[in-house]
């Protein structure tokens, strides 16, 4: 019992050194490096990741490569904002948001196909009620997808600021030290 207490005390004794601004950690327990990220750069990367595929799609369409436009544009709309999340160190959240956008776009396309499968959406004939309903679904899905994209681009700066504040603070984490077979606390202060 006394030996385990002394092993755990080693972790706590590091606190004074950490609070003094120097890093004192147990062997094998190096803290992850902290680097402040720029909220502005994260937002710019999200905008570039979204706008560049749209510009490439436009250029392909004007160049006579209309068949290749769809995947490029859809890929940019789904994956474009993820670039800012990857820079911010939150790739998982970025991919979750991309999945949401993909689901909305897929559901919109599925509903449009279901509406038009009955044959009332032929643009060479007079457009009927099915075509009007398909257009309403397309507009609603497009507007909602646009709102999701704008929310991601606008919100990435706030997420980066929160990350910088969270990682730049004092943190106390419970941990297990396998070399001494003891549980304890690791106190880190990043500045």
Pairs from 180-186 (Cβ < 8 Å, separation ≥ 24) = 180/7, 180/10, 181/7, 182/4, 182/7, 182/8, 183/8, 184/7, 184/8, 184/10, 184/11, 184/12, 185/8, 185/11, 185/12, 186/11, 186/14, 186/25, 186/26, 186/29, 186/31
Q: What pLDDT, on the 0 to 100 scale, is given for residue 46?
A: 93
| Residue 143: Cβ-neighbour burial (10 angstroms; 0-12, 13-18, 19+) | exposed
Q: What pLDDT, on the 0 to 100 scale, is given for residue 127?
A: 66
Q: What pLDDT, on the 0 to 100 scale, is given for residue 107?
A: 95
Spatial CB neighbours of 153, under 8 Å, sequence gap ≥ 6 = 43, 46, 47, 50, 81, 84
pLDDT digits (tens, 9 = 90+) for 126-160: 667 788 888 889 999 999 999 999 999 999 988 88
pLDDT digits (tens, 9 = 90+) for 101-125: 999 999 999 998 888 887 767 666 6
Average model confidence (pLDDT) across the chain:
78
- 80 has pLDDT over 50: yes
- 29 has pLDDT over 80: no
Domain boundaries, the chain: 1-34+168-191, 37-162
pLDDT digits (tens, 9 = 90+) for 69-79: 888 888 899 99
- pTM for the full predicted model: 0.66
More confident residue, 65 or 93: 93
């Amino acid at each position: 019992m006394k030996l385990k207490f002394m092993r755990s005390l080693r972790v706590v004794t590091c606190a004074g050194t950490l609070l003094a601004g120097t890093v004192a950690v147990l062997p094998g327990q190096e803290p992850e490096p902290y680097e402040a990220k720029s909220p502005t750069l994260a937002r710019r990367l999200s905008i570039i990741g979204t706008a560049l595929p749209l510009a490439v799609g436009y250029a392909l369409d004007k160049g006579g490569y209309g068949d290749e436009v769809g995947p490029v544009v859809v890929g940019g709309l789904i994956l474009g904002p993820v670039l800012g999340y990857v820079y911010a160190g939150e790739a998982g959240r970025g991919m979750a948001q991309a999945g949401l956008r993909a689901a909305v776009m897929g559901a919109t396309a599925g509903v449009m196909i279901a509406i038009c499968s009955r044959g009332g959406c032929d643009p060479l004939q007079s457009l009927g009620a099915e075509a009007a309903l398909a257009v309403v679904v397309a507009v609603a899905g497009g507007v909602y997808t646009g709102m999701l994209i704008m929310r991601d681009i606008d919100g990435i700066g706030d997420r980066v600021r929160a990350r910088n504040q969270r990682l730049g603070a004092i943190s106390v984490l419970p941990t297990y030290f396998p070399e001494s077979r003891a549980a304890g606390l690791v106190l880190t202060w990043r500045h």
